[in-house]
């Protein structure tokens, strides 16, 4: 009997706890072989770890569109794989497929109708990009900027991006530049990341929020104030940014990762001062959820693919090898161990 591996949720960190790799357990399982009509056998190539998974570790996710992971059952999320056997007419041996609900298993049997067949040419054969720049994080950046950012070329806007060296932020800043912002300033957690944003991704400048006073750094880097803020982190960083925003500015409320290990609702409550800034300066701050724009995903992926293939958008990834390292990769991403999209490579 051939063996496969899978990852189950072993323990919950608690709403106020920090996740640890030991919350996940790797198990041996049997490689499935029997297929029913409509099913395919897939071998997993790449798996994604994403911040939204933190709330799936709680017994109540706090979001109606996300179910909690169950204890001692396989964890799931974004994945890419290759079809190795098929009883589904739309998918043949060798098809490359993706899903948002891919179980963390080295092999799996799935209903073919729940998989999306993708064309490797869209990513020049770099299949992990379907989990990043030409996948959900890329769409989040693109649709977040386009739906909520109101970038207007020729008006000398300044855009600030927090979580700027991550999967969504690194793409969002580049789209801000392509959409005509005069200055794009990134905020992230190390000098090395700041340097990468400027030298490799074309950000105007970058601020390491772990060093020095963020308010004075923002004044220096954004001398004309801030018009658009792509917010991935929330908390004190966002309070500092919003306090320096211009009248009629726009906050793209993408995520609030600094608050994900706390028992607070989403979006977390704002301080009185920040609420006053928003109100008195007529700044919009509408919640943005990429899944609410399904009808724009196909066109969005084509746009992202074009930018990536033509080199107008540069893609950064941090790749870890082996299904045994899923828990480590998740916890590392949650604490800034990644530059660009955190990927786990499961097989060749």
* Residues at the contact surface with ligand NDP, assessed by CB under 6 A: 50-52, 137, 140, 163, 165-169, 188-190, 193, 232-233, 237, 254-258, 288-290, 333-334, 336, 338, 342
Q: What's the closest the beta carbon of residue 188 comes to ligand NDP, in angstroms?
A: 4
CB closer to ligand NDP, 260 vs 307: 260
CB closer to ligand NDP, 86 vs 170: 170
Of 56, 48, 51, 47, which Cα lies nearest the Cα of 13? 56
Q: What's the closest the beta carbon of residue 169 comes to ligand NDP, in angstroms?
A: 5
Q: What's the closest the beta carbon of residue 327 comes to ligand NDP, in angstroms?
A: 16
CA–centroid distance for 155 within its chain: 29
Contacts of 143 (CB under 8 A, 6+ apart): 288, 290, 293, 296, 300
CB closer to ligand NDP, 48 vs 86: 48
CB closer to ligand NDP, 82 vs 218: 218
Contacts of 187 (CB under 8 A, 6+ apart): 160, 161, 162, 163, 164, 206, 207, 209, 214, 233, 237, 241
Q: What's the closest the beta carbon of residue 137 comes to ligand NDP, in angstroms?
A: 5
Strand order through the sheet with 284-287: 205-208, 183-188, 158-162, 226-231, 245-253, 284-287
The tokens describing 147, both together, are 């739906």
CB closer to ligand NDP, 83 vs 206: 206
Preceding omega of 267 cis (within 30 degrees of 0) = yes
Sign, CA dihedral 49-54-55-58, equals positive
Q: What's the closest the beta carbon of residue 170 comes to ligand NDP, in angstroms?
A: 8
Q: What's the closest the beta carbon of residue 18 comes to ligand NDP, in angstroms?
A: 10
Q: How far apart are CA 304 and CA 135, in angstroms?
A: 9
CB closer to ligand NDP, 40 vs 257: 257
């Amino acid at each position: 009997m051939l063996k496969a591996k899978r990852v189950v949720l072993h323990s919950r960190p608690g709403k106020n706890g920090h996740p640890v790799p030991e919350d996940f357990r790797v198990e041996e399982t049997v490689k499935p072989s029997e297929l029913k009509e409509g099913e395919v056998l897939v071998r997993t190539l790449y798996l994604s770890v994403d911040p939204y998974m933190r709330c799936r570790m709680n017994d109540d996710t706090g979001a109606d569109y996300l179910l909690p992971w169950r204890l001692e059952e396989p964890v799931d999320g974004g994945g890419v794989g290759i079809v190795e056997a098929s009883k589904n007419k739309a998918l043949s041996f060798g098809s490359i497929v993706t899903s948002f609900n891919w179980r963390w298993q080295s092999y799996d049997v799935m209903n073919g109708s729940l998989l999306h067949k993708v064309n490797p040419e869209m990513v020049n054969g770099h299949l992990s990009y379907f989990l990043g720049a030409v996948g959900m994080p890329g769409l989040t950046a693109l649709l977040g900027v386009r739906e909520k950012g109101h970038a207007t070329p020729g008006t000398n806007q300044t855009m600030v991006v927090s979580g700027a060296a991550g999967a969504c932020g690194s793409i969002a800043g580049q789209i801000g530049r392509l959409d005509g912002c005069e200055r794009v300033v990134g905020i992230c957690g190390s000098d090395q990341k700041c340097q990468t944003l400027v030298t490799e991704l074309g950000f105007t400048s970058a601020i390491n929020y772990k060093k020095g006073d963020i308010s004075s750094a923002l004044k220096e880097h954004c001398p004309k104030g801030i018009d658009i803020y792509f917010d991935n982190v929330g908390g004190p960083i966002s309070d500092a940014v919003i306090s320096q925003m211009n009248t009629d500015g726009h906050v793209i409320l993408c995520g609030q990762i600094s608050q994900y290990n706390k028992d607070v609702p989403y979006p977390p409550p704002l301080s009185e001062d920040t609420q006053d800034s928003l109100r008195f300066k007529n700044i919009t701050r509408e919640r943005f959820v990429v899944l609410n724009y399904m009808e724009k995903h196909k066109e969005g992926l084509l746009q992202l693919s074009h930018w990536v293939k033509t080199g107008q958008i540069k893609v950064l990834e941090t790749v870890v090898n082996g299904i045994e390292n899923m828990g480590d990769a998740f916890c590392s991403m949650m604490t800034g161990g990644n530059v660009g999209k955190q990927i786990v490579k499961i097989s060749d």
